[in-house]
Structure 1
Amino acid sequence: MAMLPNVPHPGALVSKKKKAFIGLPAPLGYVAGVGRGATGFTTRSDIGPARDPSDVPDDRHLPPKKFKKPNSSGKFEEEEEEEEDLNESNYDEFAGYGGSLFSKDPYDKDDEEADAIYESVDKRMDEKRKDYRENKLRKELEKYRQERPKIQQQFSDLKRELAVLSEEEWMKIPEVGDSRNKKLRNPRAEKFTPLPDSVLAHKASLAGPDNISIDPNTGMVTPMSSGIATGLTTPGDLDLRKIGQARNTLMDIRLNQVSDSVTGQTVVDPKGYLTDLQSMIPTHGSDINDIKKARLLLKSVRETNPNHPPAWIASARLEEVTGKLQTARSLILQGCEMCPKSEDVWLEAARLQPPDLARALITKAVRQLPQSVRIWIKAADLEVELKAKKKVFRKGLEHIPGSVRLWKAAVELEEPEDAKILLSRAVECCPTSVDLWLALARLENYENARKVLNKARENIPTDRQIWITAAKLEEAYGKEVAAEAIIGKALRSLAANGVEINREHWMNDAIDTEKSGSIKTCRAIIKSIAHIGVEDEDKKHTWMEDAENFANQENHGTRETLEKLLAEAVKTCPRAEILWLMLAKSKWLAKDIEGARQTLSDAFKANPNSEEIWLAAVKLESELSEYSGARKLLTKARASAPSARVFMKSAKLEWALGQNEDALKLLNEGVKDYPTYPKLWMMIGQIAQSESKFDDARLAYQQGIKFNPTSIPLWLLLSRLEESCGTLVKARSVMEKARLKNPKNDQLWLEAIRIEVRGSPSGKDVAMVMMAKALQECPNSGILWAEAIFMENRPQRRSRSYDALKRCEHDPHVLLAATKLLWVERKLPKTREWFHQTIKVDPDFGDAWGYFYKFELMHGTEAQQQEVKNKCVDTEPRHGENWCKISKDIKNWKLKTDEILALLAHNLPIPT
């Protein structure tokens, strides 16, 4: 029997075949044995984390897929699929990253036409759906609003019911109280735990106060020569006292600089100002993170470019500001080594070093930069003795003989004879310097001065000052004809040398010449240049205008000549109201009452409808206590020349005389015709308030604000009324509304701040926050800065006043606040000097006059008191918060300027 081959059993073949699902993950939702009735459960690991359908799938960063590819021998090998290049350089706006399926095909005209067709079809389809889409969106929004209405809509029916409330019911609504947070509504008493003396002593020993002091000139921290304390005073107390003294000295220096700049010229060094300013900032006052970033940045700049001088200077100043003076010195010395040819680095190093070391440092700088004028001047400044200064300048001139600045500085230190010798050499080295030639001519006698000026003209033929000086020289020695001839020759010579004859410049030279006493030379200049640059038809007009301008700069004559001139003027120009008023005022000041009345009577005939003339006549009668005549004049004025101001003056007269009903009648009549004149509404409210009719006053102010929403006094009066009635919340609300209507208004911010200060014991903290916001919105407001100074505690007032003076250098409110600060510190001579500066900046500021007079009453002599009073009367100030409180009080309507000044000085508090 033949043997059968070993054929495997069919079942065995099936069992040995690998199943397709072996090793593969189960499908989603698969439960084993579910067909046999088994029950399964699902865990978080089965379904994975919760995911939104719009989330990006996790397989975006899977490793590249592998696929099998036959090699040359026919076997399959696994190869990785190339990862898509997502570099920006591989991005195409049309095809995306790496191109698209058709990226290899060119984009031809047919493709462009097809895209345009598809785009037009899309636009057309979008326009068809637009109406449907908008209607659907509107319906959905309406449905949403019905389901979820706004809070305002929910209470709209209740708000409509408020329209039927009467004024009395409205006022009976209780206040909600303070709407601020709970901590401010219920402030807790602050607890202060005094620090033990042992802690202070320990901190003082760690800080090393025995070796620290403050340089009063720069405010820098420098080593002390000796820190020995005696008696009961500890070293820490000694240094703290010296620190305070140094800060006061530095503040005085800064205030003096500002006082010098009041006249229009500043003595502040613009380059070093910022550094000097920051020297007062305490170490802990800056953000440490910002300082670290700045230090790191500057270090990077130094390492990147070590030969860059500004990097070293900025680094040194940063360390100086943070109080690390020794580090600043070390850095700037490194800068001197790295940038030996930079004069700025050397000068900064000299500034940071003590005087002895600075002199040695400047000596090195001179060796490196012998041609630097600034370094030679710095070297001379560092010397104490005059002889040493002269020596430095002469050495500098040996190296830089052509420096006009060095010659001038050297000449200023010499006596006249030595100065003459120096100037003789200076004009040889600097023959084109006009100032040196003129200085030499002033020191010479007549003959030599003529020779010097002739040489100057030869060397500088294009300068007019030399010619004018020569003419003034001839006039001074009695040769007036020669002076006129020199001016004419000067114009011809300058024109021949191509110099343009500027008529305005010569006019200004004529003014300066007249002030110096050279009248003939001035006349020669005007005569020679009056026709230059003026057309024949314009000569009369131009010359009259020049004459008027010059006349405004002169004050000559007497009252009689003035009245004579004004009498001729009103005859020639009878319609000029100002001339009539000037003539009437002159007669009134001369006590010529009948003459003033006659002048105003003549003025009525020429100007029957002039408001100014009517009111001037009323004022004259009121001053003479002729009230019936004043009433008649006002009645005629309301009939012939009615205006809001006439109604206001009429009501004010009745109010002053105690006829409140008549005054209110006139005011109510006036507001009907002139509702946009806020003073009428203010007077109605003030009269009602004086009679304790607060509801009427409130109504008047509110109606006035409706017609005059930009009238700040109306808002202030309404707020103060609410505050006086005890409704502090309403006062705050009024101020908030006022600021919304009138943004960036410093008066409204100031009143809101004062409301908080007066409102509660904890109101000062809220006021400080509001002050910060106010200064952000009105950074140049003098009244806010002045208030901010005295809101601070005493130790911080000086630094605050320093900031205020920096921001508002010429504001009278800030100057007055700084003056009061000096007064508090008992620096009486300095206080008096600053009072003079304050009234010089703004003579119309009545508060400054009041404080000045009070100061003299307390610390001055009778002569000084009388001087202040006389100047105030001559100036006749009209503005100032405290001044207006007295001058505009109806009880004081007849007070003179000196009486208002005395009353104001009596009521003003002494600064504390």
Structure 2
Amino acid sequence: MASNKPNKLAFLSMPAPASYVAGLGRGASGFTTRSDIGPAREGPSAEVIAEAQARRGEEQEVDPEQFQDPDNEFGLFAGTTYEADDEEADRIYEKVDDAMDARRRARRCAQEQIEMAKHRAERPKIQQQFADLKRGLSAVTDSEWENLPEVGNLTRKKRRREERAYVVPDSVIVGDRGKNEFENALDPRQNEVCFDTAADPGAMTNFIEIGQARDKILSLKLDQISGTATTSGSSTSIDPKGYLTSLDSVIIKSDAEIGDIKRARMLFDSLVKSNPKHAPGWIAAACLEEHAGRMVAARKLIKQGCEMCPKSEDVWLEAARLHNNDDAKVILANAVQHVGQSVKIWLAAADLEHDVKAKKRVLRKALEHIPNSVRLWKETVSLETSASDARILLARAVEVIPLSVELWLALARLEPVERAKAVLNKARKAVPTSHEIWIAAARLWEQVASGQPEAEKLSQYVLVDKTIASAVGALRQHQVLLTREQWLKEAEKCESEGAVRTCEAIVKATVAMDIEEEDQLDTWESDIDGAEARGRVGTARAILAYALKVYPNVKHLWIRAAELEKAHGTRESLDNILSRAVQHCPQTEVLWLMGAKEKWLAGDVPAAREVLERAFIANPESEQIWLAAVKLEAENGEVDVAKQLLIRARDVAGTQRIWMKSAVFERQHGDFDAALQTVSAALKKYPKYAKLYMVQGQIHASQKRYAAARQAYAAGLKAVPKEPALWILASRLEELDNKSIKARALLEKARMVNPGVDTLWAEAVGVEERSSGANQAKATLARALQECPSSGLLWSMAIWSEARPARKARSVDAVKKTNDDSLVLCSIARLFWSERKIEKAREWFGRAVARDEHDYGDIWGWWLKFEREHGTEEHRELVRAKCAQTDPHHGPVWQSIAKDDGNRGKHTKEILELVANALQ
């Protein structure tokens, strides 16, 4: 029965299409083999291939040469001329394209970034996917890394396990067994001289011969040491120290250094062979051999360099350096034949001579060859011991080299005054553009004036000023325009060399150059600051004098001049400045007060009174002058005169401070009733002046009339609630009366009225410490630091409230929070003191007083207390002197002692001693 199923293999018997080529789809084509007879059939044509690809849906490849002009190989317009208008057109089109592209470039870039971010969010990179895992690897310990399991077979394919067994040789077992054994029996050959080495059984080592050879070599080396061996007859003595020093100087080179030397030697060898006229190559090659320790090779190389480069002075100098003294003389003698115009060669030859006469002979021979060398003339003159011989040489030198300013000035310094003037005149004519000659002439006039009487000095000093003024004009005519800063540098140079009057003349003639009138004062003040900072007090004084001449009514310039003279001048110069100052600025009170104080300190009390009398005439209502007069009389024992002055002051000036000082003066001299009457009268005129209430309360408290004192403070708090010191005095009064609760309440109310005042918080901490203990005080201090986080007073208390181990960390926080407050620095110095770090403590005390902006005297007291324990008398005197110069007025302990009635009239040094005694 026939089957209806189609035969799948029937196509094999079907004829192939006419255009069918076997393997055409995979790129096959017809070919010919040796076994073929005749040519093989041709491959399909291009049309057939295109038709077949079209049936498969493949796109035809576009021929890039399809649209090419057959007559033009490179382009359609390649044969035409590219002219300037074509270039301009292309450039315009490029600009248009760039402008169109830039219009939406920012928006396009932003859109691309958004799309890229979106794409990265949807399909992140593999490294981003594993970023958190990578970060987690940082926490993996070394033990966890070592315990990571080995990667097994993950292909899930069964592998054939091959297990092989090997037989261990007996030699391995025996060797392993005897590895840790040791022998306790001696080798029977130990008594023999020769031993067989384990490395080479056939080699023999004779240790006795090695020791003898070592001793022989050492003795030969000792005999060959130069400079350390001295031979006398047949005996040789060695300096052991010199030999050990020479052994220390021996450099043992490593293999790497030896390799570097060999490579460098090859490079330098190639250099000198390829360019034998290059002098630095020979020098470098010789230095390399010197570094390698081959002095003979180095000298040989540098000799060849001298032959190849005879015109190079550096080669000759290097050759002289590499040889000893006698050979170097011969080498430099040969060098002179080739480079006789080299100053360095002649100077090196002179340095080789140890005899002064020989040096002179060499240098004079050099001057015959090079007569216009300033350096040779200077070296020749420096060897002369006689001034007359040096003068003769310099006279010849300036004839040969008339343009050398240095030689002219040297000759002028050696000549007498009259002949020096003539020399400088000749120099000025020879070198009219040199300002040094003019300055030397001015200094010569100053030198002449210094040896004359006082009456004639002024006329000579006028010549100094005229000389410098002429110098400025003459140099300007010759187009030599030195700037103002250059002239001031010359002035400072003259001051440093002792020519102060010449310095002043230069300042007078040039300090106003090239400055606008409105900028003069500021510029001169900055010049004064700079000169004083560099230690040029004479220059600063001269600039200040010129500024006062231009601006005589500017009071802060006079104050500046007085301070400068007080710091660096004499008492006479200060008196002179102050006398001139009060003439030009009679309304400036501080100038009168400075003048009176200087007279008083000098011990001339009548002169101080005279100054104050003149000050009264110029300033009849000046509070400061009245109080200064009262202080002067009171300090000198004239109490009645001081009282009369205060009465007149209250009538004439009548300021609140004068009334307060009157009450204090009465209290200090024991007249409490008069003091209270004065305070009562003053309060009627000035009810808002807090210090009057303080004085009234202190007088009542000193007489133990606490109710009256409390009433005085209460009236003051009602009238002036914003005065912290009044609240503190009221609190201390209650604490003195054993009423700590009321004192605490007063301070609480004070902090509400005056928020953020650190002194009120500090007083509250002290009250808590005295009444409730350290814990409550520490809690109050913590609250205080929250409200006043940058208070140096509170942070210094916080440092000492901590236990000893925590104080250092607390001090670090305090320095950061308070920006180097002086009280914090003082506390840190005391910490170093407690740890017995003396130098650090002294350094920090110095920093504390340098940073003191609050005028605290307690810091000086702590420093003096420290120096009493660990310093010398010089240290203590230095602290006293600096404290007296600073004259502090604040600080809890300082004020309590300075304002004590029993300490009135005491100087700053005396109060400092009392403060140091009182500090705990």
Normalising by the smaller structure, the TM-score range is: 0.3 to 0.5
Which structure has the larger Rg? 2
Instruction: Tell me the TM-score normalised to structure 2 length.
Output: 0.43
**Structure ranking higher on relative contact order (CA contacts 8 Å, 6+ apart):** 1
Instruction: Tell me the TM-score normalised to structure 1 length.
Output: 0.44
